[in-house]
Structure 1
Amino acid sequence: MTSPLHQLKIIELGHVIAGPLSTSLLSDFGADVIKIEAPNRTDMMRDLGPKAGDGVGVWWKTLGRNKKILSLDWKSGEGRDILRRLVESADVLVENFRPGVLERAGIGPETLHEWNPDLVILRVSGYGQGGPMRDVPAFGRAAEAMSGLAHLTGFADGPPMHPGFPAADSTTGLMGALGIMIALFAREKGIARGQVVDLAVFEALLRLMDYPVPALTGANLSPRRNGLRQPMDFAPGGMFRTSDGVWVTVSAGSAETAQRLLRAVGGDALADDPRFATLGEMSQHMAVVFDAINDFVTQHTLAEVEAEFARHDAVASRVLSVEEIVTNEQIRHRGDIVSVEGEQTQVIGPIPHLSATPGELRWLGRPPGADSRSILRNLGYDDDRISALCEAGFVGVDGSET
């Protein structure tokens, strides 16, 4: 079966998470990704975090999945020539350096488009390629702060909090992949040739959170962090702990589902209370609803809560730990956790699920320079020339590659 993106050629100059995740998402569906690392400075994700039994960082295993690895000093004259050859036949180039790095190296968008006018360039940076904060350094947590996510996370009387995963970098990777595909679609339809996708790390979260800005500007309501409840309680729900110590999240998204939820926790007396006739009225008395749900859940075991909610077709979902995720029957049925032959490390598989052209995990992150020789051979370099480039320090190779 042919992968849907098997003819898509991507050059990755990215590092850490945001840029590399965008190419990783596309590589799952067949994109031919060449990740370029400097011979003397590899991506820090190789070493960040825990190591698998073979000594390789588990984060690198998944961020480097399905990618060919070229060790190249692209700032040198020889390296620039190799990069140009790659760019001339590529569809996409991804970079997430600080603004100005490519320009100072003489390979800004104007130069790249001289080499290949149809090239789509994804540029990921902390605050974007222009504006008063253009040159301010930023990491994911700074982006989570600027987007408003941290402000809305935590308890009302406590400090703002970051989520338990790199939300800004990860959502940027997702939005970057979307931006690439939109630009490629525009190119295919003749709307534009190669163009620059300019993405700041805080912007994906800003777009996905969305509602705080129209809430303030349209309704003069300013969301505030609210602990185990939503910042703006427009429907009943929250996080609760059962009598046997299991955390569950309870939610309802419409007047009908809210009524079923209220009937599950408080019977007809609560569900038929005129204060809760509509979601609008209910939102004025959400503290009462929260307390009623909390009283019910905390006085019953998980099994009892699940049975009562099921009887009323209401939603109470157990909060899964990582250990429970990897053994969950629904997740296993979906095939969402996968690996490759000979690897103990498992990763999250390609998502979304496509009926005719599903994604595929071909390999996990490879060693530095793992594909340098084969890539250069495909560009027309013979073994003697490759050896000379290696001796000069312009190219690095993995010792196991032949």
Structure 2
Amino acid sequence: MTGALENIRVLDLSRVLAGPYCTMILGDLGAEVIKVEAPGGSDETRKWGPPFQKDVSAYYLSANRNKKSITVDLKSDEGIEVIKSLVQESDVIINNFKSGTMKRFGLDYETLTELNPGIVYCSITGFGETGPHKDMPGYDFIIQAMSGLMSITGDEESGPQKLGVAITDVLTGLYACIGIQGALLERTLSGKGQKLDLSLYDSAVSSLVNVGSNYLMSGKVPTALGNHHANIVPYQTFRALDGEMVIAVGNDNQFARLCTILEKPQLSTDERFQTNPDRVQHREALVPLLQEVFLTNTTAFWQKKCQENKIPCGPIHTIKDVANDPQLQARNMFIEYHHPTAGAIKMIGSPLKLSRTPVTVRHHPPDAGEHNEDIVTRFEFKK
């Protein structure tokens, strides 16, 4: 069996997370990904740590499997010619340089499409290539702040909070992957490539989904609800005797069953709480009544009760809990393989489960320039 994108070659001039995350997914799907760095290695994540394993950072390993690596000096004429030669033999080129940088290199879309009309050219920047902020540098933390995500994360006591991972990078990488595959599919009809202009800011704002829609419809500025849901009640964390858990009641029947196991059946017929809109309106009255009962027993007790009555619930896992979860182990979400420098490593696997073209780890995250000789030989570049 071969990968779904086996015949696709991707030239990856990106670094850090959004671009590399996108190209790792394409590589997981079978594409040949050629990672391009400056001599010595210019992807900053190689040095982002600790933790390191034999000088290889966990951060770099997390986003760079299934790639090959070459080093090219883009400040030299020879280096630019190498990229142009590779473009003629590639399907996709992706970069996350600041707006205008690729044009200064002579590697802008207009130039490269003359060399290869079928090239899919993906640009990832902080704010996009148009608009008044197009020249501003964009970093995940700043984008989380500006996009409104931080304003709805946390609560009154904590103040605005960022998510625990660089979520705008991850989202942009996913959107880039979707857009690239869409452009490749369209190319089978038109025979032509196209340019994708992706921004972290746009991607972050798109993730506001229902909360953003709530504001656009009502004009009411959403506030941080902590672990509460803006549109559903009860859908939040509750404290039990020995810790916290999540209850996610999605409809009125589930709420009625919850009231039964809490031995408070009268709450489901109370006119303030009969329907979800009623419960959202009277959230401040309902939640304390539920919380009082949850405090009478343990998280394990309530989770067992909820599961028996088909009420969505779940524990709040640490990353250690996640790494030892038998469900995730059964789904092969943690993979072990050998890295020539770091040795035996264990990393998070791919969530993509394809029946005929399964995801496989064909290449370890490469050392900088590891495949210089291989690529030079294959494409007959001058040394």
User: TM-score when scaled to structure 1?
Assistant: 0.90
Judge conservation of contact 2:122–2:176 (CA < 8 Å) in 1: yes
Judge conservation of contact 2:12–2:20 (CA < 8 Å) in 1: yes
CA distance in 1, matches of 2:355, 2:222: 40
1:221 match = 220
1:325 match = 322
Q: Deviations over 1:317-364 (max 9, x none)?
A: 001111111110111111111122465321221222112211112233
The count of corresponding residues between Structure 1 and Structure 2 is: 380
Residue 261 of structure 1 pairs with residue 286 of structure 2: no
What letter matches 1:273 in structure 2? D
2:294 match = 297
What letter matches 1:221 in structure 2? K
Judge conservation of contact 1:339–1:361 (CA < 8 Å) in 2: no
1:146 match = 146
Judge conservation of contact 1:340–1:362 (CA < 8 Å) in 2: no
Judge conservation of contact 1:212–1:222 (CA < 8 Å) in 2: no
CA distance in 2, matches of 1:175, 1:241: 37
TM-superposed CA distance for 1:83, in Å, is: 0.9
Alignment of 1:219-298 (within 5 A): 219-230=218-229, 232-245=230-243, 247-298=244-295
TM-superposed CA distance for 1:41, in Å, is: 4.8
Residue 195 of structure 1 pairs with residue 194 of structure 2: yes
2:371 match = 371
2:310 match = 313
CA distance in 1, matches of 2:259, 2:100: 56
Judge conservation of contact 1:9–1:92 (CA < 8 Å) in 2: yes
CA distance in 2, matches of 1:316, 1:376: 55
Which structure 1 residue ranges, 4+ long, deviate > 6 Å from structure 2? none
Q: Deviations over 1:149-205 (max 9, x none)?
A: 111001124421101110111111111101111111111122x71111101102222
Residue 87 of structure 1 pairs with residue 84 of structure 2: no
TM-superposed CA distance for 1:266, in Å, is: 4.4
SS for the counterpart of 2:345 is: coil
CA distance in 2, matches of 1:254, 1:344: 47
Q: Deviations over 1:52-80 (max 9, x none)?
A: 43221011112121110001113311111
Structure 1 residue runs without a partner (length 5+) = 387-402
Q: For structure 1, which segment, 42-51 or 323-332, has the greater mean C-alpha deviation from structure 2 after superposition?
A: 42-51
Judge conservation of contact 2:80–2:105 (CA < 8 Å) in 1: no
Judge conservation of contact 1:261–1:315 (CA < 8 Å) in 2: no
Judge conservation of contact 1:3–1:30 (CA < 8 Å) in 2: yes
1:335 match = 332
Q: For structure 1, which segment, 295-304 or 123-132, has the greater mean C-alpha deviation from structure 2 after superposition?
A: 295-304
Judge conservation of contact 1:264–1:314 (CA < 8 Å) in 2: no
Judge conservation of contact 2:11–2:94 (CA < 8 Å) in 1: yes
Alignment of 1:5-154 (within 5 A): 5-154=5-154
What letter matches 2:319 in structure 1? V
CA distance in 1, matches of 2:259, 2:197: 46
In percent, how many aligned pairs have the same letter?
28
SS for the counterpart of 1:340 is: strand
What's the RMSD between the two structures over aligned residues? 1.7
SS for the counterpart of 1:360 is: coil
TM-superposed CA distance for 1:269, in Å, is: 1.8
Judge conservation of contact 1:29–1:350 (CA < 8 Å) in 2: no
Q: Deviations over 1:245-273 (max 9, x none)?
A: 3x311112222223223333343122222
SS for the counterpart of 1:111 is: helix
What letter matches 1:211 in structure 2? N
CA distance in 2, matches of 1:289, 1:361: 50
1:353 match = 353
Judge conservation of contact 1:263–1:270 (CA < 8 Å) in 2: no
CA distance in 2, matches of 1:308, 1:281: 25
SS for the counterpart of 2:7 is: coil
User: TM-score when scaled to structure 2?
Assistant: 0.95
CA distance in 2, matches of 1:97, 1:265: 56
CA distance in 1, matches of 2:195, 2:290: 50
SS for the counterpart of 2:282 is: helix
SS for the counterpart of 1:274 is: coil
